[in-house]
């Protein structure tokens, strides 16, 4: 279930409420002539502290079967819903409504559905006195408080193999043996070779395996072995859109701008068929859908100085939105697949003129080609990028001699200084444009550690706003727009589940040690071009303020192993290895 780190560690009372049954007006989704309604509700405050609470709710249908459900109640105090899971939970004043999702709406007579939520509060929340299921009042009293350490209390975790709201909680994550072997072969690499990383399906041939390597079924079969008797997440990167990455030549792909048909029939359809195999139904399969695509339609088109003709083409033909929508629709058909759309990073869409329009573009894509917002489990930020997870030496609200941090050359009027604050704020924006309220965020921390000798130990000098920001920032890039094989970068936070409110996990979606692009032109049969942003001598363009690229020299084409980069990442890891 979705829980903030605070909710997981806070001590608090457990309070249970059992509600009786009643018969009244027709349940939501059932005709009045056919309906005989009734319900019981079990409401538990699992954790409570001065500032918030976590609650678990189970509703049982004791009347006729319903195809969807809506549970209503009112808070007695100042509680405010901040996050929900297994239901769309909304609030108006003190009134709260929890609506079923696509996979848990049907309730036969005697069947139950469970959901939960986090809310802010003053630490004195009580069990609501009255609940209504599809307009039917369930009148019941309360019991408790219950001892949270009592071993007789019923478990609240979902049954093994069932769909959950945070796939990472309570699960191991797949270790790609191919990446692991490369990491272990490096001096010192055994320290991280057991970390889980994403499996990149970056071309049609990757589905069956490239040059004798593992294909998708090979990885899923290996995942079944690693799974054992517990739960296991497999992370796949879906990355082969027509006209892929229209603004960065290093990651161009095999399909031309108009080849949406091939994308559907030769790429997505075969992947979907494999994921739908019942053999793999016990795996939790997380997909990162098409990195570095949709925000290009906002930031790199039209009359902007960052515009490119290739991005204008993709905006005009709509194949980015169509491709993402088709992938979400087809892959989401499998009940154990959790789709996360790539949402760029704070140094790309954190500015006001990019933030809202990007959310709107994501909504367009998520409702294209038969997809709905219910096919979207969440979003991922910082994929294969270098933005610091948390900058703690300065905030966006700081000022120096009356000059705001936003006016510094580094921040440059952005509203966010790091990936976590951006991810949490963007999640709120995405919900506001129509995505489900229980979506979660992932942050790729594979290369954003920025440790080593150059890591600041405190704020910069308050001589000017620039000395203050530059002296204290962990992210040591020359410019936020630099993205290719960055010198000085380090391994970031190790993968972990539910590290912060609204964040499903820190992940290593980009396998550390795999190149972002070649530092000079290298002929290849993968459709990957040469981008000057991967050349350490390049003095830049409008996207990086005409600064040096900050790239390491002697890099191979994107996706190939880059030993010097891997060594640099280990040397500068934070937390240190």
- By annotation, the residues acting in catalysis are 292, 516
Residues 6+ apart with CB under 8 A from 361: 294, 295, 297, 298, 321
Q: Name the region of 93 (left: φ>0; alpha: ψ -120 to 50; beta: rest).
A: left
Strands 440-444, 503-507: pairing kind: parallel
The first and second tokens of residue 203, run together, are 């071309």
Strands 130-133, 70-74: pairing kind: antiparallel
Strands 142-146, 199-201: pairing kind: unpaired
Task: Calculate the dihedral angle through the C-alpha atoms of 133, 137, 141, 143, rounding to the nearest 10 degrees.
Answer: 0
- Say how many Å lie between the first and final Cα of the chain, rounded: 30
CB 310 within 8 A of CB 246: yes
The first and second tokens of residue 398, run together, are 């700081």
What whole-number distance in Å separates Cα of residue 92 and Cα of residue 72?
11
What whole-number distance in Å separates Cα of residue 198 and Cα of residue 168?
14
Residue in this structure with the two tokens 């780190």, named with its chain if needed: 5
What whole-number distance in Å separates Cα of residue 49 and Cα of residue 374?
32
Residues 6+ apart with CB under 8 A from 192: 183, 491, 512, 570, 577
What whole-number distance in Å separates Cα of residue 306 and Cα of residue 575?
35
Compute the chain's Rg from CA coordinates: 25
DSSP 287: E
């Amino acid at each position: 279930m979705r829980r903030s780190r605070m909710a997981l560690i806070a001590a608090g009372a457990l309070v249970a409420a059992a509600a009786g049954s009643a018969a009244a007006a027709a349940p939501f989704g059932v005709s009045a002539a056919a309906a005989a309604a009734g319900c019981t509700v079990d409401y538990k405050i699992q954790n409570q502290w001065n500032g918030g609470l976590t609650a678990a709710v189970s509703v049982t249908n004791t009347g006729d079967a319903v195809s969807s459900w809506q549970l209503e109640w009112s808070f007695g105090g100042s509680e405010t819903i901040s996050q929900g899971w297994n239901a769309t939970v909304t609030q108006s004043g003190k009134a709260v409504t929890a609506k079923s999702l696509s996979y848990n709406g049907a309730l036969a007579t005697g069947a139950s559905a469970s959901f939960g939520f986090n809310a802010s509060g003053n630490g004195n929340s009580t069990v609501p006195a009255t609940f209504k299921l599809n307009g039917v009042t369930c009148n019941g009293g309360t019991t408790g408080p219950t001892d949270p350490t009592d071993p007789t209390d019923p478990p609240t975790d979902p049954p093994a193999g069932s769909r959950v709201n945070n796939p990472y909680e309570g699960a191991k994550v797949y270790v790609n043996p191919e990446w692991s072997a490369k990491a272990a072969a490096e001096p010192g690499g055994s320290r991280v070779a057991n970390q889980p990383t994403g499996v990149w399906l970056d071309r049609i041939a990757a589905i069956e395996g490239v040059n004798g390597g593992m294909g998708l079924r090979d990885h899923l079969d290996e995942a079944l072995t690693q799974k054992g008797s517990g739960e296991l997440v497999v992370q796949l990167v879906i990355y082969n859109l027509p006209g892929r990455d229209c603004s960065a030549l290093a990651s161009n792909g095999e399909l031309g701008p108009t080849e949406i048909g091939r994308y559907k029939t030769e790429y997505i359809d075969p992947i979907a068929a494999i994921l739908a195999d019942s053999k793999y139904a016990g795996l939790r399969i997380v997909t990162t859908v098409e990195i570095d695509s949709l925000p290009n339609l906002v930031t790199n088109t039209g009359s902007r100085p960052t515009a490119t003709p290739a991005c204008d083409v993709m905006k005009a033909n709509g194949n980015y939105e169509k491709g993402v929508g088709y992938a979400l629709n087809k892959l989401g058909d499998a009940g154990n697949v959790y789709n996360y759309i790539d949402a760029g990073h704070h140094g790309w869409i954190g500015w006001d003129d990019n933030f809202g329009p990007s959310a709107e573009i994501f909504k367009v894509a998520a409702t294209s080609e038969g997809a709905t917002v219910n096919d979207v489990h969440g979003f991922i930020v910082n994929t294969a990028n270098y933005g610091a997870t948390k900058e703690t030496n300065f905030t966006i609200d700081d000022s120096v001699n009356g000059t705001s941090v936003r006016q510094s050359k580094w921040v440059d009027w952005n509203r966010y200084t790091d990936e976590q604050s951006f991810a949490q704020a963007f999640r709120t924006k995405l919900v506001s444009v129509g995505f489900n309220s229980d979506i979660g965020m992932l942050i790729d921390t594979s290369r954003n550690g920025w440790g080593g000798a150059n890591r600041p130990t405190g704020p910069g000098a308050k001589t000017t706003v620039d000395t203050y920001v530059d002296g204290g920032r962990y992210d040591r890039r020359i410019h936020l727009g630099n993205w290719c094989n960055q010198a000085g970068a380090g391994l970031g936070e190790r993968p972990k589940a539910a590290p912060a409110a609204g964040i499903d996990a820190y992940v290593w979606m980009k396998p550390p040690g795999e190149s972002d692009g070649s530092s000079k032109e290298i002929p290849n049969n993968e459709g990957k071009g040469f981008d000057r942003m991967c050349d350490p001598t390049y003095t830049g363009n409008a996207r990086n303020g005409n600064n040096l690229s900050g790239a390491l020299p002697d890099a191979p084409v994107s996706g190939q192993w880059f030993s010097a980069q891997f060594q640099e990442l280990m040397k500068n890891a934070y937390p240190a290895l």
